[in-house]
Amino acid sequence: DTEVTQTPKHLVMGMTNKKSLKCEQHMGHRAMYWYKQKAKKPPELMFVYSYEKLSINESVPSRFSPECPNSSLLNLHLHALQPEDSALYLCASSQGTGFSFFPATNEKLFFGSGTQLSVL
Amino acid sequence: KNEVEQSPQNLTAQEGEFITINCSYSVGISALHWLQQHPGGGIVSLFMLSSGKKKHGRLIATINIQEKHSSLHITASHPRDSAVYICAVGIIQGAQKLVFGQGTRLTINP
């Protein structure tokens, strides 16, 4: 199984809603990532988890709250989002060898197919 | 100036043509990644290089560490190769993370 599964594929939410995005992988990877991608732009890193610990937070607003309950699961909790937060949210994973606080950047990344989020 | 520059930004070609996409970077790197993104979102990792050349089917990727430059070549291009191709480098200063190029939008016409 070399898949990263993201749910839901599409999400429409109001600015007062609370929702969660889910990401799952069963490849034994110990590094997991959330990226945000606006149309026709490259992905922007949001968060990195290494061995279930948050190792990188790219100054993301607190209305985005990541959670890594175990080595296979990564969640992104959304609350009080703004319309400008509408984007494709991508999850990725990598082997995460070496017990490093920062995952190595010379490891292949496996991406999920993303959640297309619209905030009304 | 961006740390990773790709060229061209857009490329349209006829089926069967040989395609080259270029990536230049200005920082020390651990590796360079070539990624493919089809309309609809999913990103696939095509290659990860730290030196030399790699080949997979009709795709070839090369890297010149001294010149800080990489190329992705597609031989005998096909309409299904139409996608956005993204170069990303793993930087080694500070918090290790990937820095992405802006992408090259490739369209192959039948």
Residue-wise pLDDT for A58-68, tens only, equals 889 999 999 99
Please give the residue of chain B at the shortest CA–CA distance from A49.
B97
Decide if A110 touches B, using CB distance below 8 A: yes
Please give the pLDDT value at position A55. 86
Q: What angle do CA B39, B44, B49 make, to 5 degrees?
A: 135
For residue A84, the model assigns a pLDDT of 96
- Whether B97 has its CB under 8 Å from any CB of chain A: the answer is yes
Residue A100: predicted pLDDT: 60
- The whole-angstrom separation of Cα B19 and Cα B15 is 10
Q: Measure the CA–CA gap between B73 and B70, rounded to whole angstroms.
A: 10
What phi and psi, each to the nearest 5 degrees, are found at residue A32?
A: -135, 150
Stretch B91-110: mean pLDDT: 88
Contact between A117 and A87 under an 8 Å Cβ cutoff? The reply is yes
Question: At residue A69, does pLDDT exceed 60?
Answer: yes
Mean pLDDT of chain B: 93
Question: Mutating which of B47, B91, B96 best tests the A interface, going by the most A Cβ atoms within 10 A?
Answer: B96
Contact A56 B43 (CB under 8 A): no
| Mean pLDDT, residues B6-30 taken together | 96
Chain-chain contact of B86 with A88 (C-beta, under 8 angstroms): no
Mean of pLDDT values over A90-118: 85
Compute chain A's Rg from CA coordinates: 14
Per-residue model confidence as pLDDT tens digits over B19-61: 999 999 998 888 999 999 998 778 999 999 999 999 999 999 9
Average pLDDT of chain A is 91
Average pLDDT over residues B69-96: 91
Tokens of B62: 């090369």
Nearest to A108 among B48, B101, B103 (CB): B48
